[in-house]
Structure 1
Amino acid sequence: MSQRPYRRPRPLSPLREHLRDTFWFAPTLALVLVCVVWGLIDAFDTALLESLQADRDFGTVRTLISWAEDAKVVVTTVSSAMMTFIGVVFSISLVAVQMAAGNFSPRIVRIFIRSRISKLTFSVFLSTFLLSLLVLTSYDSETDPRKVVSVPLFQGALTLLMVGLSLLLFIAYVTQTLQLMKVGPVVERVTKESFRVLHRMPAQDSAPAPAPLSAEVTFVPHHGRAGTLRDVHVARLVRTARRKDVVLRIIPRIGDFVVPGMQVVAVHGGREGLPARRVLQSSLSVGTERTFHQDLGFGLRQLSDIGLRALSPAVNDPTTAVQCIDRIVHFLAAAAHLPLGAVQHQDGDGVVRLVQDGPGWGDLVDLGFTELRGRAVGDPQVSRRLMASFDDLLRFVPDERREPLLRHRALLVQAVERWLPEATERAFALEADRQGIG
């Protein structure tokens, strides 16, 4: 069991991750901001016009009216064409998401949802459309420079700037969408997300062995909808446990499915009174699917799913499975020397206040290799890559972590020997090869 030092609470951290898993927040925020910016620029245009009229500089006013009328043609065209443009981009997104979900795994759809380029593109497109409508309302039918009350010169210039930005973002968006339709960039994106979770783990385990917990005083059941435990607000739970001088223990792991009435938090101690159940329950986020925020095994789950689908008879793409194994080995190699399993979170005084269970080394190895090993028996490209994976990992993992790798290696050898009757074929299928059949 490893000890992780308590870090200062970041109240917006869970909220930020949850908002990243939505697609509505960024466009909505952009629409609000464009209304604010339009209001400021409209006030600036009005102040400029009033200043010129007060100075009786009607020649400059006529020039501004002429420029604004020229820009009006472009703004009108943009307002009428932008929605069609948005529809085309949205259609591209739906096709790309459908193809990726069918070819790889339904769980990688969240890559498109969390994509910053996708959200930025839709936000700028919608903002450009709304801005063009707002600018059109600012045009004055009066052409007399002494009577005109509105000349949206800078508003029109901003609209043209937004159009140029939309075109650049459209190029970037199409480029990224095409990349995410290929297996290489997809598995790389999944691996990067997995490493972000892994990098939050403690770098080493130099702390002494933790003291055993006292007996449970009470259990807190889950209330609300059933779903997957997505993340835990660690800072809030540590503060709550410190105030009440208790130790809290999260019973389910991140990624477990919880139902109403299931025990989710155990309270140990309690000399200062028990924490409010409402606070404890609100600190556990339950959703419809797993996320990368605190889920160490979710990346391996996705990589395994993509590899399994590639090895199905309907797809029969062992090369994709080999690419997934490459990334699984990459992740396990990085985790090989890190402390895994249950983590104890401390408060500012170094007192353990929260215990949270997590996957151990054996759990990660089983998650990465079990299902792919079962499908690799009839495909020498995958079995050869798996043999190379086991051999590579066995060379540098600590001695206490060799057993799961040796077990999977032995099971693969036994399965291939039962499946292939010819000694020559068995030897070929069990030869270690980092490229599968290089």
Structure 2
Amino acid sequence: MNRSLLRVRQITQEFWFIPAVMTLLSLLLAEAGIKAEESYGIPKGLYFVYAGGETGSRSLLSAIAGSSIGVAGTVFSITIAALSYAAGSMGPRLLNNFTRDRGNQLTLGTFISTFAFALYTLRAVTGSGDVVFVPHYNVTFALVAAIACIGMLVYYLAHITGAINMTHVVNLLRDDLRDSLMKATQQAEPDDGFAVAPPPAFWVNGETLHAPSSGYLQLMDNDLLLRRADEAGVTLLLHVRPGDYVFPNSMIAVGVPHLPEGVMDALSLGNRRTVGQDLEYSVRQLAEVAARALSPGVNDPVTAIDVIDRFGDALCSLQDRRWPDGVYYSDQQLRLVVPVTDFSGLTNSMFAMIRQYGKGSPSVVVRLLEVFRTTASCLNDPERREVIRRHAELVREDGLANIENSGDRADVEDRYRKVLDVLAEGQVAEIRQASKQTVAQGGRVS
């Protein structure tokens, strides 16, 4: 994705975009209806078309315009107040979900476009002197739009009730995380190899690039960076990755022997983090929900357990996927090195905050270890399994240090032992698989 596509996506996701488009279309439709009736009149046989006079059409259009904008203002004002209250326990992400939801945007657009259509049509109704004109097509359509508003209101009330449900919010965040994981990783192949970046000494004499402004790195166009480095015949190293906060005048890139032109054209800075390339942002949003749930003011371990389950879901989906190495070649020449998120960093973002806030809750500690056990059985990579072992040890240590009840401590030890058993079974399976491969290749196993 390049910078232009990012901006287009951000604009189209704004809460006002769909209502604005629908309002513009309604005004164009109103004008088209008026012109059509002025030019061709109403053919005989169209019995469904409004057949009232000037006074009735004025009253009808006035009622539709006033009621549509009044209901929209009241309903959405109350909704925003309810969402603001609920965001105290769910986090500000709830408000983002509300504004990004297409159903909410379509509902607001239906009410506002109906108001605009009726108001624009009302100005065309004339009844002074000998000139009488009633836009029958438009009045008929305004009646249909009013009925649509009633249907959208019923839909909206049911939809928003489910939207502020905690499980619904957690599932939405899970879907964002899963999509980001699938985009950030690729299918692993048996002959996949990892390219190794040059040592730090390679970059010592390179030309450095300092940030001209500040903000979150929302987008890094790797294709453009690779093309610019290849055209200049240089090797480029980035020190920042999507999601990092870039400080003004901080070093963000090094070029050897010099910097290519237009490096900043491939980097988009903004005032907030965005879902997409920023994988850890998707993780942090879920972790924030769990951290708020475990705060003393909320004390909702069930929600934290829901989040832990979603994290286990995400990790198990990485069973047959590999992380990119961040090293790019062009015509067998090293051109670009960028930092990437790895499995260890991902799991740290997932579980560190939950472990710190939930270390005194036996149910949270036990569920963490149970998820580690399941995750360990899903993962085949020894390095990833070792990361799971390290987190299990940290959870056990914090849990035993903060849980006083002997029965709960025994449960923690039991779940931790099961994690170790699964990890040990995985090591045995790896040894057996390696032995089979050696024998198949004609080797000898002692």
* Same fold, TM-score > 0.5, yes or no: yes
Q: 2:215 aligns with which of 207, 213, 227?
A: 227
Distance 1:66 1:350 in 2: 78
Asked if the contact 1:332–1:364 (Cα under 8 Å) also holds between the matched residues in 2, the reply is: no
Secondary structure at 2:219's aligned position in 1?
Answer: strand
1:221-267 superposed Cα distances (whole Å, 9 cap, x missing partner): 2223x221122234444444444444444321211111221222333
Cα deviation, residue 182, structure 1: 1.4
Distance 1:17 1:64 in 2: 41
Secondary structure at 2:322's aligned position in 1?
Answer: coil
1:4 aligned residue: none
Say if 1:87 and 1:185 are closer, same or farther in 2 by CA, change over 3 A: same
Distance 2:232 2:377 in 1: 48
1:334 aligned residue: 317
Asked if the contact 2:3–2:219 (Cα under 8 Å) also holds between the matched residues in 1, the reply is: no
Cα deviation, residue 409, structure 1: 1.0
Distance 1:351 1:116 in 2: 46
Cα deviation, residue 29, structure 1: 2.6
Matched, 1:304 2:287: yes
Say if 1:18 and 1:354 are closer, same or farther in 2 by CA, change over 3 A: farther
Say if 1:28 and 1:417 are closer, same or farther in 2 by CA, change over 3 A: same
Q: 2:93 aligns with which of 86, 107, 125?
A: 107
Matched, 1:202 2:194: no
Secondary structure at 1:297's aligned position in 2?
Answer: helix
Matched, 1:388 2:383: no
Of structures 1 and 2, the one scoring higher in RCO (CA 8 A, sep 6+) is 1
Q: 1:154 aligns with which of 116, 137, 162?
A: 137
Distance 1:392 1:166 in 2: 48
Cα deviation, residue 181, structure 1: 1.4
Q: 2:338 aligns with which of 349, 356, 359?
A: 356
Distance 2:104 2:21 in 1: 15
Q: Letter of the aligned partner of 1:218 in structure 2?
A: E
Asked if the contact 1:231–1:254 (Cα under 8 Å) also holds between the matched residues in 2, the reply is: yes
1:275 aligned residue: 261
TM-score by length of 2: 0.81
For residues 21-170 of structure 1, the aligned pairs below 5 Å read: 21-49=13-41, 66=52, 70-142=56-128, 147-148=131-132, 150-170=133-153
Identity %: 24
Cα deviation, residue 191, structure 1: 0.6
Unaligned runs of 5+ in 2: 417-446
Distance 2:55 2:223 in 1: 57
1:397-438 superposed Cα distances (whole Å, 9 cap, x missing partner): 1212112211111122222323345543311344449xxxxx
Cα deviation, residue 324, structure 1: 0.8
Secondary structure at 2:186's aligned position in 1?
Answer: coil
- Say how many residue pairs are matched: 408
1:417 aligned residue: 400
Secondary structure at 2:177's aligned position in 1?
Answer: helix
Cα deviation, residue 136, structure 1: 0.2
TM-score by length of 1: 0.83
Cα deviation, residue 282, structure 1: 3.7
Secondary structure at 1:402's aligned position in 2?
Answer: helix
Distance 2:135 2:235 in 1: 62
Q: 2:356 aligns with which of 347, 353, 374?
A: 374
1:368-407 superposed Cα distances (whole Å, 9 cap, x missing partner): 1112122333211111111101111111212121122111
Secondary structure at 1:19's aligned position in 2?
Answer: helix
Distance 1:25 1:353 in 2: 40
